[in-house]
Amino acid sequence: MRMVTGAVLIVASEQAFAHSQMIPFPNQVFAAEVLYPSSIALLGLGICFLLWGAVCELRSPRNAGVSSLAAMNEQSRESSK
């Protein structure tokens, strides 16, 4: 879920930057003052969430329960002999 949140924040950052480029001349300066910093903040948060999700995913593999089940099956076979 963290990786999805990071991806969404990165997309929001890109959209904020794109909208700051599309606003016509008289209001462009004011829009850039708001949208550039918010774009950078969203990009930073998105990268942090994406990396946090990747690190957590590497630390806890999804097949951790499978190895413990295999160990329990092996112990039950040994005890039945």
Say what the pLDDT of residue 31 is: 84
Pair of tokens at residue 24: 């016509």
pTM: 0.66
CB 55 within 8 A of CB 6: no
**What letter would DSSP give residue 39?**
H
* Kind plus residue range of the DSSP H or E element containing 31: helix 25-59
- For the chain, which residues make up each domain, given as ranges? 2-80
**Residue 49: burial class (beta carbons within 10 Å; 0-12, 13-18, 19+):** buried
Q: Give the Cα-Cα-Cα angle 8, 10, 11 (nearest 5 degrees).
A: 65
- If pLDDT is split at 50, 70 and 90, which confidence band does 71 have? low
Tens of pLDDT, residues 10-60:
999 999 999 888 888 787 888 888 889 999 999 999 999 999 999 988 876
